[in-house]
Amino acid sequence: MISVLISILLLPFVPIFMYGNLTQEARVSFGAFFNSAEGKEDPSMAKVLGAAKENTDNLKNAQKYNLFPLDKGVDAEFVPRMIEGKKDIVLWAGSSVAIDVESGTILHYDQGRKRTQIASLTKMMTAILVMEKVDNLDEEVSITSESLSVPGTVVGCPTSVLCNANRMYKGEKVKVIDLLKAMLLNSANDAATSLAIHVSGSSEKFVAEMNSKAKELGLKDTNFCTPSGLEIDGIEDQCYSSAYDIARIASHSLQYDLIWDIMRIPEGRFYSTDGKYMHELKNTDILLNEMPHCLGGKTGFTPLAGKSLLLAATDPTSKHKIVAVVLNDENRWSDMKILVDWIFGSYEWK
């Protein structure tokens, strides 16, 4: 512990370009120290980082380092192995994780099981349940006063203080598919709430189904409070997930091509079913135009959660998919690009 304290005192005087070259052991020590200081020690951290350091020769050894390996991992055709001499990197996010979709192998891990608010990344689970439970995506949804009363980003208002297009109206009828687009592109909270009420009869019942689905997927650090990701006043600490759980949710969602097709749409518009009202949409993911192999992503922000981002990408051959998550990261765009570039430069699939 004394050596860790000395390292921390010296850290501000180390040139910033050296941060990325911290030794594997130092990263484990720093992570364990800060987690312990916050009362949130993550005993699994060293083991998971150790997977990147030691690397593995076969799938069985690779999988044993995962906290909760994906069920289909045992049948993966290719398993990523870290190139000799490479080491995990440090991002200045509150927590971050990257996994290989096919095998479930953890590619990067930093406080990956830290429970924290995740804001609109919640909407990935909402989208999954809509895909599972709605047979006809052209079904009409009647917009209620409850869905229109939610704060934050809504259709027509990219922020709580800026409305630059038409909002939805009480009693307006909109197709499920258009609400999905509004929720995933614009991160509209009213669209997420409308979908929840349509599917389950109330937001509360829908949230219960979200949490049931989380348990079904084997997620250990997730408890949803709303379909939008907004925290509930007074019980904010009960609304949480983790970078690892979100990566698992995103990986599971990749079986629904439509979700990711939507997230690659740069902008668009939709109409009420009677054609009376038009609403404009714009994607919140600025990396779509900056990463040629980006499959799509989802942004999130609340004051408690900070700025977060999940993203799926393929390697240049388009054969291997990864999901990466950064939570509470002021530099989420640049950090995500760094992380994805590092993964495809540090691993080979065999």
SS3 for 144?
coil
Q: For residue 258, count CB atoms less than 10 angstroms from its CB and return exposed for 0-12, middle for 13-18, buried for 19 or more.
A: middle
Q: Which of 336, 337, 251 is nearest to 76 (CA)?
A: 251
The pLDDT score that the predictor gives to residue 18 is 32
Q: Quick one: DSSP state of residue 182? A: H
| 227 residue type, one letter | P
What's the pLDDT score for residue 53?
Answer: 30
Query: Residue 340 and residue 343: Cα distance in Å, rounded?
Result: 5
User: Measured between alpha carbons, how far is 340 from 313 in angstroms, rounded to an integer?
Assistant: 8
Q: What are phi and psi of 34, to 5 degrees?
A: -65, -40
How many whole angstroms separate alpha carbon 65 and alpha carbon 112? Answer: 13
Residue type, 191: A
Number of H helices, E strands in the chain: 12, 11
Q: Which helix (H) or strand (E) holds 9?
A: helix 2-10
pLDDT score at 77: 80
Q: What is the pTM of this model?
A: 0.80
pLDDT of residue 293: 92
In the block, residue with structure tokens 């593995």: 56
Is residue 276 classed as helix, strand or coil in its secondary structure? coil
Question: Which residue stretches of the chain have pLDDT < 50?
Answer: 1, 3-65, 67-74
pLDDT at 75: 62
CATH 3.40.710.10 fits 119-286, yes or no: yes
327, β-bridge pairs: 95
In the chain, what are the domain boundaries?
2-115+290-349, 119-286
SS3 311: strand
Burial code of 285-319, b = ≥16 C-beta within 10 A, e = fewer? bebbeebeebbbbbbbbbeebbbbbbbbbbbeeee
Q: What residue type is 34 in one-letter code?
A: F
